[in-house]
Amino acid sequence: MRVLTTNCSLRGRSGTEVVTIDLALGLRRRGYEVCVLTPMPGPSAEILRRHDIVVADDPAKIPWSPDVIHGHHNHVLAAALAACPKAPALFVCHSSNFWFDGPPALPRVRKLCAVDEACRTRVATDTGRGSDEITLLLNAVDTDLFEPRVALPAKPMRALLLAKNNAHADAVRIAASKAGIALDEIGSAFGNEADDLHERLKGYDLVFATARMALEAIAVGCAVIVVDGRGLAGLVTSSVVDDWRARNFGLSLLTRQPGPETIAAEIARYDAADAALASARIRETASLSAYLDQVEAVHRGLLADRFVPNAVDDLRATGAFITDWLRRLGEGMIPENFDTLQAAHKFAAEHQGVVAENATLRQQLAQLQARADLLAEDHLQQQQTLEARIAARDQDILALRQAFDDELHTLRDEYAMLKQTLETTIAGAQAENAELNSILQSPLATLRHHAGAWRERLFRRK
């Protein structure tokens, strides 16, 4: 069977690029002829070319007419359908947000697929189809390449941060540092993507990641905390691993703010034994071999459909798709070239990180304002209490001063009265003394004085 697959880029190690590489190499090993159409080839394209897989950056370079088109990204799939007018196609939605992951309304897209429940909901909403009509092609991991590591230690010693955005990086660094865990960083957010991640993961006990990176780390046997700049889900455990895989360890799980405290709380939940159970489950249910079996079944279903394409319907639908593309371009929703598109995605991720950081700062500001209000209220109460105590003290001082003044005034009056009495007594004594002196100046006068005094005592007795 000849399969043409499409992807907007083969320059790096994004989720869809890794899926495309694994898909192409896996089908090639199973005897398929495979070609990949991408307008942006790069280092990842060279990986495929080294395995004799054709990578075309122009539809005219597709070497043969495919039996099936396996489409990622609607705009590249539309180009492939236009270049290959007889081939049926399937479309795989990889994002619940990006415009180019929306299902294209093209007649030869006979099967719609999604990589997780959030994407399936988007496809169902955009097309009006039931969820049961959209096939889940959950992301898988090459378990032959991502071999299991040795048993985890009881306490994590080394951690790895894998990220395409970095709004959460500082929080992870702080939490890891407080836990005494050495932290390394890999990813486009840090400008150091790795082609040998399958080997590097074996050297880490704990990994911070989302989506495919989280899946690969779990498969190796690392304990994984699902977190990125968009939010925090938490530690992957054996009780949630199936549900979280169905949600691609992605956006729909990232419901909490990734702060140092919340991340530290998840680190504290580290459980080596449970991480081993989660890893065993992923290796059992998410192998690349099982994924390829499912893909081959979908491809066979397309061929069994025996759909006869109608060139007029194809042209009309393609025209409508191009019109929608141009409308979006006019509205500024689509950059004029794919290089700008990548820059726009990077900016969008950074912007989302800034928005999240701004929300965190606003929350911190509200908390600080509430604290300031409490301190101000407490200060006001203390000030009022102090002012009341000062006023009471002033009243006491005033009362004491008045009592002192009254007592002083009384003492002054008594002093004046005593002084006047004393002066009168002294004056009387002085007069009497003068009189006595005059009497005593002669014997006769003295005799007379004593006689008078004797008569006075005598007659006073009678």
Q: What is the pLDDT of residue 437?
A: 74
The reply to whether domains 2-139+287-334 and 158-285 share a CATH topology is yes
Helix 15-29 / helix 288-304 crossing angle, nearest 10 deg: 80
pLDDT in tens, 172-196: 999 999 999 999 999 888 888 888 9
pLDDT in tens, 126-141: 999 999 999 999 999 9
Helix or strand run (H / E) with residue 430: helix 338-439
Q: What is the pLDDT of residue 336?
A: 47
Amino acid letter, 39: P
pTM confidence score: 0.68
Q: Is the pLDDT reported for residue 153 higher than 90?
A: yes
| Beta pairing partners, 10 | 41
Q: What is the pLDDT of residue 443?
A: 67
Q: Is the pLDDT reported for residue 358 higher than 80?
A: no
Q: Is the pLDDT reported for residue 361 higher than 90?
A: no
Q: How far is CA 255 from the centre of its chain?
A: 9
Please give the CATH superfamily to which domain 158-285 belongs.
Glycogen Phosphorylase B; (3.40.50.2000)
Q: What is the pLDDT of residue 113?
A: 97
CATH architecture of 2-139+287-334: 3-Layer(aba) Sandwich (3.40)
What's the Cα-to-Cα distance from 61 to each of 4, 57, 65, 70, rounded to whole Å?
12, 7, 11, 17
pLDDT in tens, 425-443: 888 888 878 777 776 666 6
Q: Is 102 exposed, middle or buried (0-12, 13-18, 19+ CB in 10 A)?
A: buried
Domain positions in the chain are 2-139+287-334, 158-285, 355-453
Average pLDDT, the chain: 90
Q: What is the pLDDT of residue 209?
A: 97
Q: Specify the higher pLDDT residue, 351 or 168.
A: 168
Q: Is the pLDDT reported for residue 462 higher than 70?
A: no
